[in-house]
Amino acid sequence: MLTSVLRQLWPSVRAMLVLTVLVGIAYPLVLTGFAQVVVHDKANGSLIKQDGKLVGSSLIGQSFDGKPQYFQSRPSAAGAGYDPLASGASNLGPESPVLIKAIKDRRAAAVKLDGTAPADVAPDALEASGSGLDPDISPLYASQQVDRVARERGMTVAAVRALVARYTYGRSLGFLGEPHVNVLQLNLALDRATNQ
């Protein structure tokens, strides 16, 4: 009886060991090596450096609150804001008094900062993304911030609009998602333009 059980157990243990090595070690190593060769930048987190210093990732949003010379990011509900270890939405329902107050406060802040009419404030200025880490804003929200950024930086509106257009990305594969503006890349381009 014990011999029969051991005889059946050994193939199971052997299969588990072989599959662990193949699927748990070899496969991830092969995919990691492939990614490092084919899409090195993306495989390493799409990190952005300026003057040799790491300033962020094009995949994770960050706050520019209190810095009117920069384009503002979409609000974040991830931890204390843009915390990749606490990625997630607020999980507040559409009738939540907390969410309604947050949206009213964000609308008032956008109106005060950019002079946008309250009814016209872009939705992504009011609501956090599902991950709370969205690095992008809509072209509409970017266009509502152009005049302020130009004034704060002493640039022409046309020059700022040209940078927004340059960092506006279309739909993936021509039909997936919406056009978007990467806030960190745009703000770094503004820094380069005003430091020249």
Give residue 188's pLDDT band: very low, low, confident or very high (50, 70, 90): very high
Please write the tens of the pLDDT for every residue from 91-147. Answer: 888 899 999 999 999 999 999 999 999 999 999 999 988 888 889 999 999 999 999
Phi/psi region, residue 139 (left: phi>0; alpha: psi -120 to 50; beta: rest), is alpha
Strand-strand pairing, 53-57 and 136-137: unpaired
**Cβ partners under 8 Å of residue 186, min gap 6:** 71, 142, 163, 164, 167
Domain ranges of the chain: 2-41, 46-194
Q: What is the pLDDT of residue 93?
A: 87
- Nearest CA to 138 among 188, 181, 184, 185? 181
**Cβ partners under 8 Å of residue 193, min gap 6:** 155, 159, 163
- Edge-to-edge, what's the strand order for the sheet holding 168-169? 136-137, 180-182, 168-169
Residue with tokens 């503006």: 181
Please write the tens of the pLDDT for every residue from 32-91. Answer: 888 888 887 777 777 888 888 888 888 888 989 999 999 999 998 887 788 888 887 778
Please write the tens of the pLDDT for every residue from 145-157. Answer: 999 999 999 999 9
Which residue stretches of the chain are H helix? 2-19, 27-38, 40-43, 97-114, 139-153, 157-166, 183-194
- Nearest CA to 97 among 87, 89, 105? 105
Which 3 state secondary structure label does DSSP give 118? helix
Say what percent of the chain tops pLDDT 70.
99
Q: What is the pLDDT of residue 59?
A: 86
Please write the tens of the pLDDT for every residue from 1-22. Answer: 677 777 888 888 999 999 999 9
Q: How far is CA 20 from CA 6, 14, 28, 41, 147, in A?
A: 21, 10, 11, 29, 57
Give residue 196's pLDDT band: very low, low, confident or very high (50, 70, 90): low
Termini Cα distance of the chain: 83
